Structure 1
Amino acid sequence: MNLANQSCESAGNLKTYQHHVYAVLYSIILAPGLLGNVLAIWVFRAYIKETKKAVVFMMNLAVADLLQVLSLPLRIYYYLNNSWPFGHPLCMICFYLKYVNMYASIFFLVCVSVRRCELIMCPLKYNSSRRKGDLYICVLGWLLVCLSCLPFPLLRSPNYGSKDINSSLSSSEASSVRDEPVCFAELPLRTVSPPAAWALLVIAEVFGFVIPLILVLACTCMTAGSLWEAGTGAIPDQGEKRRALRMVLGCAIVFFVCFVPYHITMPLDFLVKANAVSDCTLRDLILRCHPVTLCLASLNCSLDPLMYYFTTDEFWRRLSKPDIPEGMTFNRRLSCITGGQED
């Protein structure tokens, strides 16, 4: 099994390449992600009790994105300096939060899609008790994601000199890594039996990617289908249906751009780390593509605020009239804008 590593030792710049990719792409994501999600939380805070259009889910999505963005400066420092001086506990916290916030983002994107589709198909079923139910769904979602992501840090070993460190690297790279503190994906993997490793991988792919993808696509198709039924259905207003479709399409686009590439390369990267891929060219291609797709999985921190702005009335209304008192009801705002027609 180790012959693959020995025959591919010519890929000596792989670690340098990966660090450059991470440092550059995370630096690009940092500023717009930070500003956009702080702004989104400020906007949605004024509407969370006043409208039912999945704002509670979007606010939790913005919180998940913001938490992921806040860990990026430490990641950028590590990849620029090739060293982690902040201690192993903080490394594990940042490593853990990366996956918690990524899968929390997936969870809340699905919730937004389902809620907007439901409000178009069955709007009369949504009442104050359902709004409270959304809060319980958010709490349950956070707990589920936090528990499901525990294997990511638990499978990593704090022993920097472990023999199983970075099996995908050459022997010269591995020896240099042992001389300095490493963090994130370069932490050595604990020994896990192949059946257990495959079981964890399949569970992560099915429940963290395949099922959410099916739900997002189903909501998109159902919402688009409601537009073809002009003047019929629970909501005959075509404008409201188009706004719902923009939101669901926005969720689908973010999902495809950010999470589909990562979940394609994740099992391939696992096969390389397990030395199940012997072809050096293919190994090198996978190990160079995986960091890019991992950064794309963080790009949703910057894309989600754009989705809010272009698909939600609440977002641009709040930005266009920031001086309106927050205590004013949503209906009164609409009345001022539409001349009382919504009453």
Structure 2
Amino acid sequence: MNDSCLDTAAAEALRQYEHQMYAVIYSIILLPGLIGNVLALWVFHAYVKETKKAVIFMINLAVADLLQVLSLPLRIYYYLNNSWPFGRGLCMFFFYLKYVNMYASIFFLACISVRRCMMVLHPLSYTACRRRLDRGLCAGAWLLVCLCCLPFPLIRGGGVNTKDCFAELPMVDLAPRTGLGLLVAAELLGFLLPFGIVGTCTWLTAGSLRAGPARVPQDRGEKRRALRMVLGCAGVFLLCFLPYHVTFPLHYAAKAKAQWQTSCQFAISIRHIHPATLCLASLNCCLDPVMYYFTTEEFRRRLSRQDLSDTLHLQQRRISCMTTDDKNHNSEQAPL
């Protein structure tokens, strides 16, 4: 935003408002997001052997969420201290990583919805070949998202104050046509297309339940579980990503005030609203593990008290056996 709309005191008050909101929300998100996603990766890696239910995509979604959580401590430090002492390079990397994690999460949520929908509509078509295809799709998705997110740091890399970071990074002057093209690409490919896919999968999965009685009761139960998962993905989209992608083009217009001819009142209002929507977008790293728990029977079962206790007991026995074997091996090698 062009700060000529504000006097010095008003601009500083607005800056403090943004910093306080980010610091508080990120601090709230940090611990639950860290615990939830570490547990998710532990469960998926240690227990879930079947990949028929989009486990590969959930693992990648948990990785994207965990990377976002791990970037929060330095963000919190900056917003609490109003200064970034770690260098411009690290600032730009974390700024870039924020968008990579967000759009990777959007992509994998869409993939989870498609896979669950396909398993309901065509349950016999998911083979080992398809599972290998999913792994290749995940690798390609990370590469594609990393490349497509490069414009975000490239248009925010100027400025002379190296103590400013993230929200205070100045925007490079872009031709209106270039800026509009980037906005359309981000909104269409980064949100509207995946959201349309999730909405279509929700409609098709729900339709399969209305189509008539299943041949066996287990089929209907599987469809209900698939529908809960797809609805969970749609809920994360609506709560976390929809508000951000409504305000994102408006915030860009406010930042590029001279070119887009926005009023000062509009720019100030958007700058008050946009931090809240960005915090909502970050909230998905806490909501995704909750979605796993309530929509995935295997996940809930593996985190049950009895199963968790049995697992810890088994690991303790393995460690004890390894320790005993090492002692026996060392005693056999000891000189007489």
TM-score normalised to structure 1 length: 0.85
Query: Which amino acid in structure 1 is aligned with residue 276 of structure 2?
Result: V
Question: Cα 1:235–1:121, aligned 2, differ >3 Å: closer, same or farther?
Answer: farther
2:164 counterpart of 1:182: yes
Tell me the CA shift for residue 6 of structure 1: 3.2
Kindly report which structure 2 residues correspond to 1:139-288, keeping only aligned pairs within 5 A, or say none. 139-160=139-160, 178=161, 181-232=163-214, 237-275=219-257, 276-288=260-272
Question: Cα 1:136–1:78, aligned 2, differ >3 Å: closer, same or farther?
Answer: same
**Correspondence for 1:86:** 86
**Correspondence for 2:329:** none
**Correspondence for 1:340:** none
| Separation of aligned partners in 1, 2:217 and 2:204 | 13
Deviations 1:276-297 (A, max 9, x none): 3543332221101101101111
Tell me the CA shift for residue 314 of structure 1: 1.3
Tell me the CA shift for residue 263 of structure 1: 0.2
Tell me the CA shift for residue 186 of structure 1: 1.1
Tell me the CA shift for residue 67 of structure 1: 0.1
Tell me the CA shift for residue 7 of structure 1: 4.3
Tell me the CA shift for residue 239 of structure 1: 0.9
* 8 Å Cα contact 1:231-1:237 kept in structure 2: no
* 8 Å Cα contact 1:37-1:66 kept in structure 2: yes
**Correspondence for 2:327:** none
| Separation of aligned partners in 1, 2:157 and 2:5 | 26
Aligned length: 306
Kindly report which structure 2 residues correspond to 1:1-343, keeping only aligned pairs within 5 A, or say none. 5-9=3-7, 11-12=10-11, 13-160=13-160, 178=161, 181-232=163-214, 237-275=219-257, 276-320=260-304, 321-322=307-308, 323-324=310-311
| Separation of aligned partners in 1, 2:193 and 2:289 | 24
| Separation of aligned partners in 2, 1:199 and 1:252 | 27
Q: Please give the secondary structure, in 1, of the residue aligned with 2:26.
A: helix
Q: Please give the secondary structure, in 1, of the residue aligned with 2:157.
A: coil
Query: Which amino acid in structure 2 is aligned with residue 317 of structure 1?
Result: R
Bigger relative CO (Cα 8 Å, ≥ 6 apart) = 1
Deviations 1:218-258 (A, max 9, x none): 00011111111232589972111110000000000011100
Please list every run of 5 or more consecutive structure 2 residues that lacks an aligned counterpart in the other structure: 316-336
Question: Cα 1:205–1:235, aligned 2, differ >3 Å: closer, same or farther?
Answer: farther
Q: Please give the secondary structure, in 2, of the residue aligned with 1:123.
A: coil
Larger radius of gyration: 2
Deviations 1:2-57 (A, max 9, x none): 9x753443733111111111111111111100000000000111345424100010
| Separation of aligned partners in 1, 2:252 and 2:129 | 44
| Separation of aligned partners in 2, 1:134 and 1:115 | 9
Tell me the CA shift for residue 158 of structure 1: 4.7
Q: Please give the secondary structure, in 1, of the residue aligned with 2:170.
A: coil
The alignment yields a C-alpha RMSD, in angstroms, of 2.0
Bigger mean CA deviation after superposition, 272-281 or 111-120: 272-281
Deviations 1:75-95 (A, max 9, x none): 000000000001111111111
Please list every run of 5 or more consecutive structure 1 residues that lacks an aligned counterpart in the other structure: 161-177, 327-343
| Separation of aligned partners in 1, 2:193 and 2:228 | 22
| Separation of aligned partners in 2, 1:47 and 1:111 | 22
* 8 Å Cα contact 1:18-1:291 kept in structure 2: yes
